[in-house]
Amino acid sequence: MSNTTIAKIPRKGCLGLCRETEEERYEAVLESAIVDEHFKNSIRRRYIYMLQEFQTRAFRYSALYHIGHFIITVGSLVVPALLSVQYTNSIADYQTQIYWLTWTLSLCVSMFNGILVLFKVDKKYHSLHTTLERLRSEGWQYLELTGRYTGNLLHNGDEPSHRNQYRFFCHYVEKIKLAQIEEEYYKYEDPSNPLRSTQNSQKPGAASSTIMLPSIHEEIAALNPPKTVKEVMQGLLTETESIPSPTNEVVVPVENNTTALSKDGTSLPV
């Protein structure tokens, strides 16, 4: 007997209210995926929770973005119009009300303009919505086994399935998350990054890197232990040679005079 899944019609709700959310639709399809329950729980705890978090943040910044720009745009048009008619004879009885209305609108325009610039609402609004849609697309590509999950990442010719594509899916989800972190806070290569400046001060010769995950086929070098005792000894000798000597001068007594010799052999007066 073949395993069949009964399709469920998405809940549409009434006038856009109480309709099925993106997470509920994804959960309904994830239930029928052929993958271990441990992996399903990992997707629920990490990926779906990440979607909810980004959706909440995107909604907040979206409300602030649209309300702020609406007040700035409308207020910038209304304030000059009120100033032009404030002292006309036909509305002389309302000059006080118009004055305070103009003052309030001017204050709101300046305040929202400062808030949008201070919290970088425009940048975060576009960044969060872009990341949210990338995560949604990545999740549906995995469930549908399309896009990068059609088996192109497998080199043994196996048929793509949710089980053997799971690690690729987790890898790219984490790459999207780390890319969003670098975009919102600091890029690792940014000279103003305090974490990078601290590490460079501790390791003067260290090359700059990135917190982005490596390729799916590339191992993390820091997790590769040395294979032989010879490699361990070579590493210790290399670290010892890299330590600078405590002094650059050697004092050599010569009869009654004392001369200092530098590393290149030239004599220096003391």
pLDDT confidence of residue 127: 94
Could you tell me the sign of the dihedral formed by the alpha carbons of 112, 55, 134, 215, in that order? positive
**229 domain-assigned:** no
Residue with tokens 């050599």: 252
**72 domain-assigned:** yes
**55 domain-assigned:** yes
pLDDT confidence of residue 35: 86
Number of domains in the chain: 1
Instruction: Pick the more confident residue, 134 or 245.
Output: 134
Q: What is the mean pLDDT of residues 183-193?
A: 70
**202 domain-assigned:** no
**14 domain-assigned:** no
**105 domain-assigned:** yes
The greatest distance separating any two alpha carbons of the chain, rounded to the nearest whole angstrom, comes to 110
pLDDT confidence of residue 191: 65
pLDDT confidence of residue 226: 45
Give residue-wise pLDDT tens across range 204-256.
444 444 455 556 655 444 434 445 556 655 665 665 555 555 554 444 444 44
Q: Is 268 strand, coil or helix?
A: strand
Q: Which of 247, 249, 270, 269 is nearest to 261 (CA)?
A: 249
User: How does DSSP classify residue 255?
Assistant: T
pLDDT confidence of residue 133: 95
Confidence bin at 270 (pLDDT 50/70/90) = very low
Instruction: Pick the more confident residue, 145 or 193.
Output: 145
Which two structure tokens, joined as six digits, stand for 227? 């294979």
Note if the pTM is more than 0.85: no
Q: What percent of the chain has pLDDT over 70?
A: 63
Residues 6+ apart with CB under 8 A from 242: 205
**122 domain-assigned:** yes
d(C-alpha 158, C-alpha 149), whole Å: 12
pLDDT confidence of residue 238: 64
Average pLDDT, the chain: 77
Give residue-wise pLDDT tens across range 154-175.
877 788 999 999 999 999 999 9
Give residue-wise pLDDT tens across range 16-58.
677 788 888 899 899 888 888 999 999 999 999 999 999 999 9
Q: Which domain holds residue 109?
A: 22-185
Q: What is the mean pLDDT of residues 110-120?
A: 95
**Inter-CA distances, 164 with 177, 180, 204, Å:** 22, 26, 42
pLDDT confidence of residue 198: 54
| Count of alpha carbons within 13 angstroms of residue 254, beta-carbon side | 11
Q: What percent of the chain has pLDDT over 90?
A: 41
Confidence bin at 90 (pLDDT 50/70/90) = confident
Which two structure tokens, joined as six digits, stand for 38? 């441990």
User: How does DSSP classify residue 14?
Assistant: B
Count the neighbouring beta carbons within 10 Å of the beta carbon of residue 26: 19
**17 domain-assigned:** no
